[in-house]
A and B are shown apart, each in its own frame.
Chain A
Amino acid sequence: MQIRKNASKFTVFLFILLFLCGCWDQKEVEELAYVIAVGIDKAEDHENRVKISYLIANPEAGSTAEGGGSQEPPREIISFEADDFISSKNLANTVITKHVTYDLLRMIIVSEDFARDENFIRWIYDATKSMEIRRDIRLLVSKEDTATFLQNNKPVLETRPHEYFEKILDIGNEIGTTPPSELNTFFRITEADADLFLGIYGTTEKGEKKESDGDPDEITAGEFKYEGETNTTQFVGSAVFKEGKMIDTLTIEETRLSYLLNPTLKPGFFLGTFPDPFDDKYRIVTRIEANGPLKFDMKLNGGNKPSIHVKIPLLLEVMSNHSMTDYPKDAKKRKKLKESLKEDITRKFEDFVKKTQEEYKTEPFGWSLIARKQFGTIKAWENFDWMKTYPGMKIEVSVQLKLGKFGRQSDLPRLEEVRD
């Protein structure tokens, strides 16, 4: 009985104790300011400081629930200088009324200027320290200041910012205009010190369009011309990071190529155009998707020059036929088309690989992971030094093209007959 009495007293005591404390990690959802995107820029004068911009979502915007819902704008943007983007949470509270939280953080945006800086990597590694920042958020490079970028970005339909970013990045991923660019991958590639990392490249400023009559996909952020009542922001192509520092940008086409050359990514399908082998005036619209995994044949350890042979199986569907060539009936024409496409595509791959070898000195395709299989120990692999060896490698790309459907209606009327 005595024990039970003591036990019950103890329980009561415990309960009171719990009542008195037990609120440390408690935070009410409505008392938080949800940062959707953090922008990091170089501070203007200080070497050791950065300029932080916050894009904060307003939960009440667009809510139709009873009790919620108001006419407030959907977002709030604030930029200021701070030591880093962890302590900046507190600084922001001089203006923002609620606790800043990174719970819903979807992106870290870095200005190109800052990304090309030597010190960039120091700041970005702060993200691994803070518990709230998840490793699967995206990294975005903006051509201009991040503060300008965020302010100019005014989505018309998806006004709620988290929705906007989620949607536009997903679609970019799917059609291959932007790379996946997860922060997790950024850290991994930087640490492994072998490959290039591709970050999303975006801008809100319209640049000058390069005058090239060729491929409309050969553009990067700011070069896409469009009109109408819509947002000025575009996410086009990728930013290339080498050893945690940005070195270049890639166009949409190059981004797509690197998707196709990357064994770890599962690309969706891309629409692209190629010159028509039967009439130079026109271009054929095609839908390309990977047709099975890439096949590698690497000879790295032999005495000779290391070589890599990549086989890329592709499935290609022809979606347009402006030259009105008679493909269904004529096997020869189909063969010619295939040959010409294959040549085009192979040339593109080869050019791009050559570019990586010569300009970047390493590749963004994650090939080093495949190469690792050739080595028994980490030591051997590190001695091999992928980054040093890659530019000198002999790399062959061969495309295995399979022609798919020719659109919904495969046959077209003879042009001559129509005009007759």
Chain B
Amino acid sequence: MLKKLLRRSYRNKKVNSEKSSEEEIKLNESNINSNLNKTVDSFKTIYSYPDNQDVVLRNIHISGSNKKAAILFINTITNAKSIEDYVISPLLQNQDSSKQIDEIITVQSLQTKNKISEIVTHINNGNAALFVEGENKAYLLGATNFEGRNVEKAENENVVKGSKEAFNEKSATNISLIRKRIKSESLVVESLIISKRSKNDLFIVYEKDLVNDKLLQNVKDRVNALDVDAIQNLSLLEQQIEERKYSIFPTILYTERPDRAASFIEDGYIVLLMDNSPDSLVLPATFWSFYHTSEDHYLRFPYGNFTRFLRILALFISLFTSSLYVAVVTFHAEMVPPDLLLAIAATREKVPFPAAIEVFIMEIAFELIREAGLRVPSPIGPTIGIVGALILGQAAVQANIVSPIVVIIVALGGLSSFAIGDISMNFTVRIGRLLLLFAASFMGLYGITALFTMAIFYMVSIKSFGVPYLSPLTPNYKSSKDTIFRRVLQKETFRPGYLKPKDMTKR
């Protein structure tokens, strides 16, 4: 039912998207006229001037050559000051009639275009267009100035040791952050327009002498095959290009750390950047890339592996504690050592619910606290935490709604899930935990194992852009064996073989 509805709504959307008037298309395809007035008029219609508040059209008179001219730009995304200083005033003050336009203007970048659609794209990107009487081309003056944040600290992927920079919403900044780390001429930043209406730019970043051409082509094909009006940012793009849309396992890595993105590029991965996305997409991604963090390699070998150990432990704890508790308490009570079993039985004596329901209540409560804590305005955030965790848990136990052991179990599982830093993998673990809990309450350990085995079968069959999800563990590829544990840096001499990079060795 639900699916049908969804599908129907998809279809409706498609119908809407076809609606773009033929006139407009015609206008966009044509070249500009040497008659200034006509040109200006057509641009006025394109930009709905003067209804459109931030579109600025200024007519000037070039005193040297005695020509009329007009400048068009959108002042919210253009640096008006630099246009004033480097374009308008030189033009007005010029007295030399022999000088060409491009000799007068002192702005950094200058292009000429004559197709209206191209000019429009440039204006939309924050450039100013200069039309001169009698010339059938427009001068495009680079003065882009989108508003945005500065480079700030990473919010989600914190590290103690290592760079603190994070991507921000400006792709130019992001590219600069990557270039700062890879000072190489072989680093290529390709740009593509991926949406029809909003004309969103996508930057494909890779090292041309490392990346596998087939992989690159695969990514490009998939991006080019997109047929949508707008893709605001990478989070949406991720969902557009991933292979298994219903799967609970993520197949594209999403990182906000330029150092992480850079190290992936150096291994032959491909990184996607977009405006408005304070992050990057790394593809293809394997299970391990979600499990790792950049700090694992910044810390010394034993420390790094210690955190890895903690993380794999946390992964299993958060996946299995609540389901194991339910399975053991309701199906395999004989497994528990007698003292503990009697203790559990004693605390459960007055609890009105079956163990499975009890754990479910607590799990849901925990997820609610978590979700609410995320959404509340930050000043009262900590309060929610205290109210939720302390008072709710304590009161629930005192009221004999849940037994104290369940609070421990659920809190332990919930807490451990925070150790998995990647947000997508985090969701995978949390959903997985609930599924396992279901399985456990029906068939105990048999249910858990059956589900777990199916999950393994599923995981090994996932492919992200042709790369098996669990490689290099299986299928085996030549690599630095950086899976559950990492090796000493000096021994990590290979790039991951599953990417088939052009250069396998790192030295």
| Same complex | yes
A residues whose Cβ falls under 8 Å from a Cβ of B: 5, 8, 18-19, 22-23, 25-30, 32, 34, 57, 59-60, 63, 65-69, 101, 103-104, 106, 132, 134, 160, 162-163, 166
- List residues of chain B with CB within 8 A of the CB of A18: 438, 442-443
CB distance from A120 to the nearest CB of B (A): 26
A29-B355 CB under 8 A given contacts A68-B349, A104-B341: yes
Cα(A143)–Cα(B350), bound, Å: 40
Closest to B439 in A: A18
CB distance from A411 to the nearest CB of B (A): 46
Contact A22 B345 (CB under 8 A): no
Closest 10 CB pairs of A and B: A68-B346, A22-B442, A59-B345, A63-B346, A103-B334, A59-B342, A30-B348, A59-B346, A68-B347, A29-B345
Of the candidates B329, B350, B404, the one whose C-beta lies within 8 Å of that of A28 is B329
Closest to B345 in A: A59
Given contacts A67-B400, A162-B338, 11 further A-B contacts (CB under 8 A): A27-B331, A28-B354, A29-B341, A29-B345, A29-B348, A30-B349, A63-B346, A65-B403, A67-B397, A101-B333, A104-B334
Contact A59 B343 (CB under 8 A): yes
Say if the beta carbon of B55 comes within 8 Å of chain A. Answer: no
Interface 0/1 of B247-266, CB less than 8 Å to A: 00000000000000000000
- List residues of chain A with CB within 8 A of the CB of B400: 67
A28-B338 CB under 8 A given contacts A59-B346, A60-B349, A67-B350: no
A63-B347 CB under 8 A given contacts A22-B443, A26-B330: yes
Contact B333 A29 (CB under 8 A): yes
Contact B331 A26 (CB under 8 A): yes
Tell me whether chain A's interface is mostly helix, strand or loop, or mixed: loop
Cα(A25)–Cα(B441), bound, Å: 11
Tell me whether chain B's interface is mostly helix, strand or loop, or mixed: helix
Cα(A57)–Cα(B341), bound, Å: 11
CB distance from A170 to the nearest CB of B (A): 13
- List residues of chain B with CB within 8 A of the CB of A28: 329-330, 348, 354-355
Cα(A26)–Cα(B348), bound, Å: 15
Say if the beta carbon of B110 comes within 8 Å of chain A. Answer: no
Interface 0/1 of B355-366, CB less than 8 Å to A: 100000000000
Contact B345 A32 (CB under 8 A): yes
Contact B3 A160 (CB under 8 A): no
A65-B334 CB under 8 A given contacts A28-B329, A30-B349: no
B residues whose Cβ falls under 8 Å from a Cβ of A: 3, 329-331, 333-334, 338-339, 341-351, 354-355, 397-398, 400, 403-404, 438, 441-444
- List residues of chain A with CB within 8 A of the CB of B344: 29, 59
Contact A160 B442 (CB under 8 A): no
Cα(A60)–Cα(B444), bound, Å: 25
- List residues of chain A with CB within 8 A of the CB of B334: 103-104, 132, 134
Of the candidates A25, A60, A66, A160, the one whose C-beta lies within 8 Å of that of B331 is A25
Contact A29 B329 (CB under 8 A): yes
- List residues of chain A with CB within 8 A of the CB of B345: 29-30, 32, 34, 59
Cα(A220)–Cα(B206), bound, Å: 86
CB distance from B325 to the nearest CB of A (A): 11
Closest to B398 in A: A66
- List residues of chain A with CB within 8 A of the CB of B351: 30, 67
Contact A5 B341 (CB under 8 A): no
Closest to A60 in B: B346
Cα(A21)–Cα(B446), bound, Å: 15
CB distance from A2 to the nearest CB of B (A): 12
- List residues of chain A with CB within 8 A of the CB of B329: 28-29
Of the candidates B349, B397, B438, the one whose C-beta lies within 8 Å of that of A59 is B349
Cα(A163)–Cα(B334), bound, Å: 16
A65-B342 CB under 8 A given contacts A30-B348, A103-B333: no
27 A-B interface contacts by CB (under 8 A): A26-B330, A26-B441, A27-B330, A27-B333, A28-B355, A29-B329, A30-B346, A34-B338, A59-B342, A59-B343, A59-B349, A60-B349, A63-B342, A65-B346, A65-B403, A66-B398, A66-B404, A67-B400, A67-B404, A68-B343, A68-B349, A68-B350, A101-B333, A103-B341, A104-B342, A106-B338, A162-B339
Cα(A63)–Cα(B339), bound, Å: 10
Contact B444 A65 (CB under 8 A): no
Cα(A5)–Cα(B344), bound, Å: 43
CB distance from A41 to the nearest CB of B (A): 25
- List residues of chain B with CB within 8 A of the CB of A101: 333
CB distance from B310 to the nearest CB of A (A): 29
- List residues of chain A with CB within 8 A of the CB of B354: 26, 28
Of the candidates A19, A57, A166, the one whose C-beta lies within 8 Å of that of B342 is A57
Of the candidates B333, B342, B346, the one whose C-beta lies within 8 Å of that of A162 is B342
Contact A25 B444 (CB under 8 A): yes
- List residues of chain B with CB within 8 A of the CB of A134: 334
- List residues of chain A with CB within 8 A of the CB of B398: 66-67
Cα(A166)–Cα(B337), bound, Å: 12
Contact B333 A160 (CB under 8 A): no
Cα(A69)–Cα(B441), bound, Å: 27
Cα(A66)–Cα(B330), bound, Å: 21
CB distance from B349 to the nearest CB of A (A): 5
Closest to B351 in A: A67
Closest to B344 in A: A29
CB distance from B355 to the nearest CB of A (A): 6
- List residues of chain A with CB within 8 A of the CB of B444: 25-26
CB distance from A132 to the nearest CB of B (A): 7
CB distance from A232 to the nearest CB of B (A): 24
Of the candidates A66, A103, A106, A166, the one whose C-beta lies within 8 Å of that of B397 is A66
Cα(A245)–Cα(B333), bound, Å: 34
Contact A67 B403 (CB under 8 A): yes
Task: Name the residue in A22, A68, A106, A132 with the highest tally of chain B Cβ atoms < 10 Å from its Cβ.
Answer: A68
